[in-house]
Chains A and B, each alone.
Chain A
Amino acid sequence: METTYRSNIMICAGTGCVANGSLKVKNALATELIRRNLHKEVKLVLTGCNGFCAKGPVMVVYPEDVFYQLVKPEDVPFLVEEHFIKGRLVQKFLYTPPAEKNTIPVMNDIPFFKHQVLRALRNRSLIDAEKIEEYIARDGYLAAAKALTEMTPEQIVNEMKGSGLRGRGGAGFLTGLKWELCARVPGDIKYILCNGDEGDPGAFMDRSIMEADPHSVLEGMIIAAKAIDAHYGYIYVRAEYPLAVHRLQLAIDQAMDRGLLGKDILGSGFNLDIEIYQGAGAFVCGEETALMASIEGKRGMPRSKPPFPVVKGLWMRPSVLNNVETFANVPPIILNGAEWFSSLGTEKSKGTKVFALSGALNNIGLVEVPMGIPLKTVIFDIGGGIKNNRKFKAVQMGGPSGGCIPLSLIDTPVDYENINKTGAIMGSGGMVVMDETTCMPTMAKFFLEFTEDESCGKCVPCRIGNKTLLSILTRITNGEGREGDIELLLELSQQIKDTSLCGLGQTSPNPVLTTIKYFRDEYEAHIKERRCPARVCTPLVKFVVDQEKCKKCGLCFKACPAGAITWEKKQPAYIDPEKCTKCKSCIKACRFWAID
């Protein structure tokens, strides 16, 4: 059960405040709270910078929302006495707004930043990815040093297991457990592998980390290598990520030069060599066994599991493969402890998750949020809501392997369990947001086209099943859907999921299943009424102006590139079918859904 605290003290631990001694203040507070027996009532939380660095150390006390500034350790007993025992505000430290109003908002004023907590992205915009010193200055390689010199492999595994970190590539397997399984397998040669083969449409989490903070990936790999006793590692990156490859290579070279990779790392006697393997960009190579086949120089085709890679992986040797984001999460866990990591998140999903926001949002970008944050917050606050004042329709999570989540489930907390319940998956972190102009069968078709094309072709259900799903979706969106097609889609989808060899086939029907689950009426409209509610499927659009809905504004007339629309002020528009080229410019222009 979670303890309820009377008060929360949020102490800023941004760079500025730490430099001004905020950690010392935090320690003093902790001591004082225990001395006063208040530590079960008042919780201490370290926060990121909120912009008032010049007045640091700063802190905010909730629920009163009182802002104290320029607090020194020696002031702490007085402050605790006054505020928490006597319940009085301490005027001396209260913040007085300056006379001249600062017109630039601070972080907490901007929803995009306010809800984010950066762990995997902890160095974003703070360091130059090409300078190892800047990474070291931000505690870089201290975790590796600790793991190599002070910790046994068991201790590392236990710390990782305790943290509750789960694989950020999508499947969500407990990272510590994976390491433990591999550590237990006997073998003189083991491999530590990093999966940077990010291939989901709309996902760019890993690329960003590799570009912005390559050393964090290397450090995570060093720690993992020590845990499983591996001395050789590969980072598999698709060649379409030239900047990521360049910066990773630079990072490896710098680390080699400084003895942070190679022989006898930091004088610990531990050896680890890491090499980049550039993939040719096949989506399926993100699947772990296909990735290993690819490194082995073979065609990137998955093989059946078990045996699992922790037992027989790369070149049939025990191997641990983790995603880029997973590795980036490792060093702070080793430095700050499992408890620190698990302090954020939900019961079974700890820490934070990086998401790539894309689609019909105002703020497109890369965000890191604590697990359990409502989906609504991510989309409407961080994402800034839907572009062009349109309505939110659904968000596709997990890319082609995931599913869509409709408006009715917008309060779903973002964690592995709750997202899975919706039929979507957490995935590697792609969130593609769709507005009302998206046709859901067409969206499902889009992802099926992707998986059908990216299927390696090895197993029958994925190779032929997905093609068959696509054929059915194609006929539905062409206005040739048949009675029973929905049931056929459902049945075939389930069979493909149950019988396919690898994760690609086992998840590829998810877009179909979730769109039918939440938008069955759209499928029915296509099949039974020969109508596309979103006006996307050209063969199903009549290109006729609805006289009642038409507001006579003339926007369609102005948008038509073919001169097919006649319109005069105060008169409804008319589309000449002879001239109409069905380009849908009028439909995009009309704000009243008046064109069918």
Chain B
Amino acid sequence: MAKLTIADLKKIKEDFHQGIREGAFRVKVTVHMGTCGIAAGARSIMNTIMEELSTSNLKDVAITTSGCAGLCSKEPMATIETTGEPPVKYISLTEDKMRKIFAEHVAGGKAVPEYALVVGHETTY
């Protein structure tokens, strides 16, 4: 792979945000897969979403992972972010909960308050 320059770094950053702004995907689902999440069953949550996604016809959903979201006692957790909307964090997920969230939030665009903990970004400065 070609070695990056500083200009490349900035371009990667630009392109990435461009991508987000232009809505390459309408929905981004992040499953928190740190050791705590995995131990609590994040893999089966991940599998459920993948299954749901493949059986649905949705083409505008990105599924990704990240590390521990901080609230280990409420794992498995997932964050769902729809373009233009603040992200919603779901906690203590099960496969059934995830299916419902998928149907209502990911596909339907309407958050599921009974499984959600919080909406918004954490303070990062």
Contacts and interface: CB of A to CB of B under 8 A. Distances in A.
A–B: direct contact at CB < 8 Å: yes
A417 to B, nearest CB: 25
A259 interface: yes
Contacts of A52: 86, 120
Interface in A130-150: 130-131, 133-134, 136-137, 139-142, 145, 149
Which secondary structure characterizes the binding site on chain B?
A: mixed
A149 B9 CA distance: 14
B122 interface: yes
Nearest to A332: B125
A366 B73 CA distance: 10
B120 A266 contact: no
B4 A259 contact: yes
Contact of A104 (B67, B84, B118): B118
Nearest to A384: B73
Contact of A103 (B1, B10, B113, B125): B113
A367 B5 CA distance: 35
A464 B89 CA distance: 50
Nearest to A205: B68
Which secondary structure characterizes the binding site on chain A?
A: loop
Nearest to A133: B12
Contacts of B32: 125
Interface in B95-125: 111, 113, 116-125
A258 B1 contact: yes
Contacts of A128: 30, 64-66
A48 B72 contact: no
A584 interface: no
Contacts of B34: 207-208, 211-212, 243
A49 B122 contact: yes
Contacts of A364: 71-73
Contacts of B66: 123-129, 212
A266 B6 contact: yes
A51 B116 CA distance: 14
Interface stretch (A108-116, A169-177, A180-188, A533-541): A108-116
A352 to B, nearest CB: 10
Interface in A9-58: 13-16, 19, 46-54
B9 A259 contact: no
Contacts of B6: 142, 145, 149, 266-267
A118 interface: yes
B96 to A, nearest CB: 20
A30 to B, nearest CB: 16
Contacts of B36: 204, 208, 365
Contacts of A49: 86, 120-124
Given A49-B121, A212-B34, A137 B79 contact: no
Given A139-B13, A258-B3, A365 B70 contact: yes
Contact of B122 (A48, A133, A134): A48
Contacts of A124: 66-70, 122
A367 B121 contact: no
Contacts of B2: 258-259
B118 A266 contact: no
A208 B122 contact: no
A365 B69 CA distance: 8
A487 interface: no
B68 A14 contact: no
A117 B123 contact: yes
Interface string B6-42: 1001101100110011000000001010111010000
Contacts of B53: none
Interface string A370-390: 000000000000000000000
A105 interface: yes
B45 interface: no
A264 B3 contact: yes
Contacts of A118: 122-124
Contact of A50 (B116, B117, B120): B120
Contact of B73 (A109, A121, A363): A363
Nearest to B125: A46
B120 A107 contact: yes
Nearest to B3: A259
Contacts of A497: none
B51 interface: no
A105 B67 contact: no
Contact of A16 (B3, B69, B121): B121
Contacts of A142: 6, 9-10, 13
Contact of A136 (B12, B35, B122): B12
A488 interface: no
B16 A14 contact: no
A125 B79 contact: yes
A312 interface: no
Contacts of B69: 124-125
B4 A258 contact: yes
A107 to B, nearest CB: 4
Contact of B121 (A15, A46, A258): A15
Contacts of B49: none
List the 6 shortest-distance A-B pairs measured between CB atoms, nearest first. Answer: A212-B67, A51-B120, A48-B123, A259-B3, A49-B121, A137-B16
Given A121-B70, A259-B4, 14 more contacts: A49-B122, A54-B86, A124-B66, A125-B30, A125-B70, A130-B65, A204-B36, A207-B34, A211-B34, A211-B35, A212-B34, A212-B67, A363-B71, A363-B73
23 contacts: A47-B125, A48-B125, A49-B121, A50-B120, A50-B121, A104-B111, A105-B118, A105-B119, A106-B118, A107-B120, A124-B66, A125-B32, A125-B66, A125-B70, A130-B65, A134-B16, A204-B35, A204-B36, A212-B68, A243-B35, A266-B5, A364-B73, A365-B73
